[in-house]
Every structure is written in structure tokens, then in C-alpha cells.
Structure 1
Amino acid sequence: MTSAVRFTRPGSPDVLRLISVDRPHPAPHEVRISVHAAGINNADLLERRGHYPVPPGAPPGLGLECAGVIDAVGADVTGWKVGDEVCALLTGGGYAEEVVVPATQVMPKPTTLTMLEAAGLPEVACTVYSNLAMIAGLKAGQTVLIHGAAGGIGSFATQWATAIGARVIGTAGSKAKTDAVLGFGASVAINYRSEDFASVTRAATNGRGVDAILDIVGTPYLESNIECLADDGHLVIIGGSTGPTTLDLWELMSRRASISATLLRARPAAQKAEIVAGVTRDVLPLIETGAIRGAVDAVFPLAEANRAHELLEGGQTVGKVVLNALEQ
């Protein structure tokens, strides 16, 4: 037996419990990781509330990323061995002492990060890379608008974009958070509670607009986001409100702009493997040089996942909230 966080009904953070579960065993294409730490994401909060569809075949339990040590390897796996320190992109089940995952979704733990920092890497790195690099094609010399730039995804996106030579305009909801956004490398930080981000963005780009937008807000920001796009710009929506809305197609057509809406968790295994390979090749070296650093706001024992969810739901965190699986 081993331990994992589970819940039997949707609800408040108090539904989360650390319980004994059967020990997972890797399939031929999988490895088993002895989890040292697991990252918490907004998708976990939504799933706990019953508002996030779980992909078919996903492992039980919350948790889309972890870091730890491989302690078992499937018969068909090459390139990994017992004892390797790794971090991994999961489809579920990361709030646990042990987890199994396809070997193609595993990355080496950067030597510059602790296990706690590395636990918050895979989901955000794969989200940012797949959307800003692979879809939007952001490159050096371009400008990107990142919403929620002080959060887990936003803080990583800001650092990554800065590291590749792009200019970052970030939004956040308080003075402390906008200060943090500037600390992550943004050129401009906008307090969306007191400033109109579209007006500030247009002014900061001399009316040109931005080449890419990473948006976690969704429907309420759609019109203003389109106003911020430059010619050939790309808006990528990765979360937030998804209710019906009106779209002025001429605003896109007149500027040859485009919109994508994506989720990472439900992508086919082959796409996840491609994304993880890209992060390993293009992003991990930036972490090893110190151009991107871990941003952990708080750490809780695995048994206190409920407290970790409460903190993240409070909206005051900067960077990631992480569970320490070595503390019960």
C-alpha cells in the first residue's frame, strides 16, 4: 500500500483526504516515480469543485505534475533507470507518494532546482512552451502580453519569454504582484484592477500592439485582447470563463490575427511527448543557466492539500504552491 490524496465528492478544500491506496505498477511504456513533491494548478481546484472534465483513462486523484526519483521502469522503457531524479507531466494522480507515468512525459530534474521547485515545472513549462513557442511562434524581438503574470503559469511565461529575448507586458491584481512581475523580467506591469490593460498595452507599444497574448481569463477579456493584437498577432486562451461571446471577425481579418484555445491535459499522448521533448531540448537549458528560476510561494505537507488549495484560491500567491510528499 501507499498514500494518496483523494476526494469522494466535489466540494470545498475540506473534501480532500490523504488515504491508503494500492501501490501503482508501471505498464511496459511507463516508469514509476517515488514522488518528493507535487505542484498544484488551477485545474486541480476546478476538478475538486466538479467543474473540470477528467480525460478518459486518467489516473485517479488530483495532480498534473511532480518531481521525484524513478523507482521502477517498464519493460519497454529506454533512456531512464531506477535512481534517476526527474520531473514529469501527469494526466492525474500527482498528489501521492508514488505515481506511474508514460516515459515520454518525463524530464530530467534541472540541477539548479530543488525537488520542490522542480515539482512546479512540468505543467507550466509545457503549457507555456506549447502555446507561446509551438502555436504563437513567439521569438526574440517580439512583444507578448501575459495575463496573470505573477501566478504559476504567468511567472514562468514571463521568465521564459524574457530569456528568449521577447519583451513582456504583464498584468496582475496588486502592487505587490506587479512588482513581482517586473522582478520576473517584464518591461511593463499593469495592475488590471486600477488600469485599463488594453490602453496601457497600446501606449506601451506605440499603438502597434503585441505579437502574442497568453490569456487565462477567457470570455471577459476577449474584446480587449483583440484590441491589443498587432498585425499577424496571435491570442492563445488557456483558461478562464468559456461562456458564449460575440466575436468581430473583421477585427481579426483586417490584421491577419488569429485565436487559439487549448487544454494540455486532454491532449493525445503523442502530442504530450512532442511537447515534453521540446521543453527538454529548448527550455531546460535556460533553467540550467539560471535564466529561469523556480518560483515557489508556499509548501504544504501532502496531508494538508486542503490548506494548499485554500491558499491558492485566495488569489494572493506569487508563483507556485507545492505539496511536499516526504512530509505527512
Structure 2
Amino acid sequence: MRTLVCAALVSASLAGRAHAGSANMQEFTQIERGRYLTILSDCAGCHTVPGGKPFSGGRPIETPFGNIISPNVTPDLETGIGAWSDDQFDAAVRKGIGRTGAHLYPAMPYNAYTRMSRDDVMAIRAYLTSLEPVRNSRNADTLPFPFNIRSTMIVWNALYFTAGEYKPEPTKSAEWNRGKFIVDGPAHCGACHTPKTLLGGDRTDQYLQGANLQGWSAPDITNNRRTGLGSWTADDVALYLKTGHNRATAATGPMAEAVELSTSRMKDEDTKAIESWPRLFGQRPAGFKWIPAGLC
């Protein structure tokens, strides 16, 4: 009888360890997925002051309407996202609604991040939650009147924001869809490379045809051979994304930072997807000029 009891206890212990091991592996997989999604989204580019604590915010974000200070997205309970619910975090990232219900400014490219799924956003949250909490508060309201009236974003959203995650084109390849998802979604290429209206919204009829932001020129990255990248090869695109230079040009300023923090760390299959989708679609981007984004 004693032998049977011991055997049962050992069996239960082993089963418990196996379950714990499976749960730990699932958690690790989720965190790792979120880590990579923050790379695709270039989150560190906005939420980290050069030389500062990763993702602790405090970086000034230049906009045509004034500067916005990027927030702390570490799991600090008071100044970060540690006390946020999953629904609040998802609403901020994909809908532009802050924790208190106030509208966020489109310096946080929720109009692109909305193409991600809730599962994508929860993976990002899992990764950020795994980081060291950093106490770092910021002044969230730095824009001059009347741009400091957040309710005006209701009008902006009606004009320029359409919520909804990316739906794959069933007639296209997986690579084509992956490239389109990255370009339109987490990488938010159009945030810099698409000309803007006076209100800061995208001129969708000139998608990726170049714009001037923050004192830098984000070039035309369509396949136009005169103004764009029509003469670039697939190797030119891949080399630029991975290293910041190729036979035609070299990245400088904010784009060099984007290469360092984001595109150079992308998986080869994703840089290939980025190149192949626009080429099949009729446009060929070479990279993205970094634009500050954050839960503003």
C-alpha cells in the first residue's frame, strides 16, 4: 500500500513538473514573439532616450504641431504600463485610446498598428512586462493650444483612421501577404514616406511617394525609376535594410537609427517579404525613415 502511495505521489510530481515546463515554454515563446514584434514596430526608437533605460520613455517626438514626450512602457506600476489591463493596452496600441479614455495623438501610429491582431499586441505586452520596471514619469501634455485639446482627435480619426486588423489576400502568396502586413502594419512605412495633409493625415493617393518630416526627407520608395527606387534590385533592398547602405546610397540621421534598432534585426525572410510585396504590388521600398511613435 505504501509503495502504491509513493508511486502515485511521484507520478503526480512528474506530471506537475511537465505541466509547469510546458507553461514556461509557452510563456517564453510568447515573450520572444513580442520581442520580435517590437523590433518590427521599431518601438525602441521612440520609447528609449539614447543612452537611457530601454523603453522607459522621455524622448521628445517632433511633430508639425509641437513636441510630444514619449511615455514609459516598462512594467513600472506608477509611471509605466504595469497597472494597465490587457484591454487598455490593446486599445492604446490598435485604437488610439489611452488608459483614461483620452484620445492619443497619431505620433503613436495606431492607424498602422491596427493592422496587427490582438494576439500580436498581447505578445508585445508580454515582452514589455518581462522587462525591468523603470520609474520615469513624463509630461503628457506639451502641445500648444489648440492642439492640446485631445477631443479634436475625434475629427482626425473620422478623416484618417480605419480600424481593423490585416486580412490576407487569399489569391496572393504567404510571402506577399507577409510583406504587405509588415509594410502597412508594424513597420508603419507610410508614416514617414507618405505625404501628409495640413492636419497630418496620410495622402493615400500618394502612398509611399515621399515626404518631409522632422527636418529630414523621407524619399519616394515606390518603383518610379526617376523619383523612386525603380532601379534598385532585390539585393539592393535587402542590403540597405540589413546594413543601411548599398551601391546607391547610405542611411543617415534617423534612418540610420531605424536600421540599427529595427530593420537590421529583422529576419531574412521578412526583409525578403518586404522587398517582394511592393515589387509584385507595383512598388518597391528600400527601408523606412524612422518616425517617433509611442503611446502618446
Q: Same fold (TM over 0.5)?
A: no
Which is higher, the Rg of structure 1 or of structure 2?
2
TM-score tier, shorter chain, comes to under 0.3
TM-score, normalising length from structure 1?
A: 0.25
Higher helix share: 2
TM-score, normalising length from structure 2?
A: 0.27
